[in-house]
Chains A and B, each alone.
Chain A
Amino acid sequence: MLTHVKKNSLFIVALSLTGSLVFAQGAPPNASAPGPKSLTPSAQQAPPAATPAPGGSNSASGVDGSTATALDYLFNHRAGEGTTMKAGNEVASALADKIKAVDVLKTPGLDDPIMRARFETYLSLKEVPQARIAEYFGKMQQVSDMLKANDTFGAWKLLYSLGEYQDLDAGISRELAARVETFWNTDRTKNGLEIANNQLRDNIKTYNHNADLDAEELHQQELEEKQKIGKGNSSSSNSSNSNNSAATNSPVTSPNADPDVAEAALMPTMGGALQGKMEMTAEYLNLLEARFKIKANEIKENKMSDQDRMDFADYIRTLYQTHRYYHVIIAADFYRALFNEGDYPEDLANQAVAGAASNARTAADSAHLVVKTLGINASGPVGAINQLGGAAGGQSQPEQPLSIADEVTSALEINERVSQAIEVFRYKADKDEVAAAAEQLQEAFLGNEFHPGLKGLPRDEKEKVGDFLTKLDVLKNQLEVRAFEQVDGQLADIKKIAADFDSTKPLALVNDIKLESRLQLGKARLLAQGGQLGDAMLAFQTAAELWPGNPDLTTSSNLFFKSQDIQNQSTGDFDRLVRDQNYREIFDRQLEFALAVKGDSTREQQIKDALLKVQKAKMAEEKANMLVMNNDTEGAWETIELAVKDWPDDTKLNKLLADLSGRSADFVSALNKARDAESKKELGYSLTWYVNAQSYYPPSTIANEGIDRVSKLILSPQSSSPSGEEN
């Protein structure tokens, strides 16, 4: 037993280090990144209308149009596949993982809300006086000592005393005492069976004796009968011969004898022999029955013993599984005492485990302990080693339960570790190193929350840990929702109560994400300036998701989304100007409209047509001005006249044309008459006026073309079509 424990302890100490390393590198299952849902409302919204309402007018809530548009975009737009936003979301997700990975923020094991609630309750509980704890521990030690001295009854009585320490014991000792009592009751039943068996054995002796007596008596009777017969034969030769002959020839044996008289004469001899045989048979049957009963009782006793053993082992396992490690040790001592065993029995399952797998499993159990105290689900190592055992044996085996020996060893080890953690906690708390103290206290609590040492820790020291963990939770929440602007203040608060808290990593993380947000914002600005409004919007959204409280967001959104409003406004203005054929305003605002209608092919064509029209008009104006400067007023008029033909409704051109008409009256008049006559099919008259107009201004395009056109009509009236007339 002692050797076994030591061996296990060595394995645990040596391999727990390996286990620690292995599991320190493995990410806990709950360390996975949270969904973006908690990051921004955008992730929780259903996809809405894709295009924001134009106009961007002020809302009733006082939010201006630009902000409303920004909010609409941020909250109602989802990232598409392969978009910049998707990349932004990936960045956000990676940063969320980073937040989770900051080890100083971890509270291992307390992620389980039930465990967390129990821990918080514990932190608020008043401490149990040290004297009371010492008294309890003293009695517990006394129980162990009594059991070692084979004073099981005394130890049992002391269990009831331990059970009275409700705040430390929770009635577990009383329950253990009840279990022991149950065993004894069963034992008494077994004793009753043994007494019955002893009685039966006595009976068997009696039956044997009686049977022997019966046999002896029967034998005597037979001898007596033989002697009687012998005497009768000798007298027949002498005097008795006459008796014998007399008997032979007696009236009884005589065929003529009275039957009743003959029977009366013979009965004493025959009845005695028969009765003796029957009695002996009865005794023999009793003996067989007694032997059968003894065997049956023995079977019953053995069965009860096995059941007792199993029940008690199960109870120890239950104590282990519920972390009642001190009671595991006491219960195991009772087990040895009650079942008169020098060592704990090996579980059948453990016997089946091969050597290599067994050793590996011990290692896994060690790791299990360490990991368990760290609050990590320890099913992994045992399961892994069970698989190893299966691999070694060529087939997989089901997970093996711990033996009682393992449980006791584990319990001892855990209690030792918890005691150490409590001691370190006290040391750290004395030095006001609350962060380290909190870590130790969590480790101790997760290792064995029922450890009496934990119960004796002063409430004010525990409350410091509680405050620290609460503030740490707030910090974690701030990081998770990316309220980075509040993190500095929170870190300062934490530092006030826990000077040893290392804020380097959280600060580095925050600065990292802030920088990323600013970079995304800068990217958004650049994209917006480049007219890539869609991509700019997505980059802006990424920046906002990374750091929703970024103060630059407001400024940027005003600038950025005002341009978005302008875009909406511009589109409306553009449509109105196209309807009004106010191409000159379109020309004047061409940069604004070019951005606004980008991607809209219809409007893009409209703006191209408008710009071309205005450009031609402007060129005509410039040319006319130049011609006027050279006293070529007819040429100037004709230039504007041709421009007006392309754009009849332009007031500027028409005004200019009117001005020039007065200054080239003869030429203009001649042309007008020529065109008027041409339209009336008065070709001769028209041609004369075209020729006269041309005489006023020989380079006149209108006149020369008119002459050419009308001449052909006159010369070839059949072949020439009137459709060639100038309109």
Chain B
Amino acid sequence: MDKYLADYRSMTGAKFKADLKVSADLGWKAETGRLMVFTLENDNRRLVVLIPPKLSGLYFTKGQNYQALLEVGEGGLVYADACEKE
């Protein structure tokens, strides 16, 4: 998280696993997916993650914890390749 916030470009294309806690829902678009705000474990800072349409079956509720495979995309946008409720 620190690395991303300091310089996301160095992480572009990289994939990593993260334990996420649902913080807020910023919106949804069928063809784009859902924009969600998560906090990391033991870190109050927020991370915005785009949940792609393929994961549209997930239903996020504030405070839920998820384990996800994340990839840093262009413009620093973080995508969830996979996401599982803990």
- Asked whether, in the complex, the Cβ of B75 is within 8 Å of the Cβ of A692, the reply is no
Which candidate, A120-128, A134-142, A507-515, A680-688, is the interface stretch facing chain B? Answer: A680-688
- Asked whether, in the complex, the Cβ of A686 is within 8 Å of the Cβ of B76, the reply is yes
- Interface status of B48 (Cβ within 8 A of chain A): yes
**Main SS class of interface, A:** helix
Task: Give the interface residue-count category, chain B.
Answer: 20 to 34
Q: Select from chain A the residue with minimum beta-carbon distance to B26.
A: A711
- Asked whether, in the complex, the Cβ of A711 is within 8 Å of the Cβ of B35, the reply is yes
A682-B75, A685-B75, A714-B35 known; A692+B46 contact, CB < 8 A:
yes
Choose from B26, B28, B32, B78 the contact partner of A707 (Cβ within 8 Å). B26
A711-B35, A714-B32, A716-B32 known; A684+B27 contact, CB < 8 A:
no
- Asked whether, in the complex, the Cβ of A685 is within 8 Å of the Cβ of B37, the reply is no
A714-B32, A715-B29 known; A685+B46 contact, CB < 8 A:
no
- Asked whether, in the complex, the Cβ of A684 is within 8 Å of the Cβ of B76, the reply is yes
Per the 8 Å Cβ criterion, residues 38-75 of B in contact with A are 44-48, 50, 73-75
Interchain CA distance A459-B14 in the complex, whole Å: 135
Interchain CA distance A567-B4 in the complex, whole Å: 63
Which interface residue of B8, B24, B33, B35 has the most chain A CB atoms within 10 A?
B35
Interchain CA distance A686-B5 in the complex, whole Å: 10
Q: Select from chain A the residue with minimum beta-carbon distance to B79.
A: A684
Contacts of B32 in A (CB 8 A): 714-717
- Asked whether, in the complex, the Cβ of B28 is within 8 Å of the Cβ of A685, the reply is no
Q: Select from chain A the residue with minimum beta-carbon distance to B47.
A: A688
- Interface status of B77 (Cβ within 8 A of chain A): yes
Contacts of A707 in B (CB 8 A): 26
In angstroms, how far is the closest chain B Cβ from the Cβ of A676?
A: 12
Contacts of B4 in A (CB 8 A): 688
- Mark contacts of A673-711 with chain B using CB atoms, 8 A cut-off: 1 yes-contact digit, 0 otherwise: 000010001111111110110010000000000010001
- Asked whether, in the complex, the Cβ of B46 is within 8 Å of the Cβ of A688, the reply is yes
Interchain CA distance A350-B35 in the complex, whole Å: 130
- Asked whether, in the complex, the Cβ of A684 is within 8 Å of the Cβ of B29, the reply is no
Choose from A686, A692, A717 the contact partner of B45 (Cβ within 8 Å). A692
Contacts of A684 in B (CB 8 A): 8, 48, 50, 73-78
Interchain CA distance A688-B3 in the complex, whole Å: 13
Choose from B27, B48, B78 the contact partner of A712 (Cβ within 8 Å). B27
Contacts of B29 in A (CB 8 A): 715-716
In angstroms, how far is the closest chain A Cβ from the Cβ of B60?
A: 15
Q: Select from chain A the residue with minimum beta-carbon distance to B74.
A: A684
Interchain CA distance A686-B77 in the complex, whole Å: 9
A684-B77, A707-B26, A715-B27 known; A691+B8 contact, CB < 8 A:
no
In angstroms, how far is the closest chain B Cβ from the Cβ of A248?
A: 198
Interchain CA distance A685-B75 in the complex, whole Å: 6
Contacts of A714 in B (CB 8 A): 32, 35, 50, 77
Interchain CA distance A691-B8 in the complex, whole Å: 16
Interchain CA distance A684-B33 in the complex, whole Å: 14
Contacts of B28 in A (CB 8 A): 715
- Asked whether, in the complex, the Cβ of B48 is within 8 Å of the Cβ of A688, the reply is yes
Which interface residue of B8, B48, B76, B78 has the most chain A CB atoms within 10 A?
B48
- Asked whether, in the complex, the Cβ of B27 is within 8 Å of the Cβ of A711, the reply is yes
Interchain CA distance A419-B32 in the complex, whole Å: 132
Interchain CA distance A685-B74 in the complex, whole Å: 9
Q: Select from chain B the residue with minimum beta-carbon distance to A695.
A: B46
In angstroms, how far is the closest chain B Cβ from the Cβ of A340?
A: 146
- Asked whether, in the complex, the Cβ of B44 is within 8 Å of the Cβ of A695, the reply is yes
- Asked whether, in the complex, the Cβ of B27 is within 8 Å of the Cβ of A688, the reply is no
Would you give 24 A-B contacts (Cβ < 8 Å), ordered by A?
A682-B8, A682-B76, A683-B75, A684-B48, A684-B73, A684-B75, A684-B77, A684-B78, A685-B76, A688-B76, A688-B78, A691-B24, A691-B46, A692-B46, A695-B44, A695-B46, A711-B27, A712-B27, A714-B32, A714-B50, A715-B29, A715-B32, A715-B33, A715-B35
9 additional contacts, CB 8 Å, given A682-B76, A687-B35, A711-B26?
A682-B75, A685-B77, A686-B76, A687-B77, A691-B26, A691-B48, A692-B5, A695-B44, A714-B32
Interface residues, chain B, with chain A CB atoms under 8 Å away: 4-5, 8, 24, 26-29, 32-33, 35, 37, 44-48, 50, 73-78
> Lowest 8 A-B CB distances belong to which pairs?
A684-B77, A685-B76, A715-B29, A684-B76, A691-B46, A682-B75, A711-B26, A688-B48
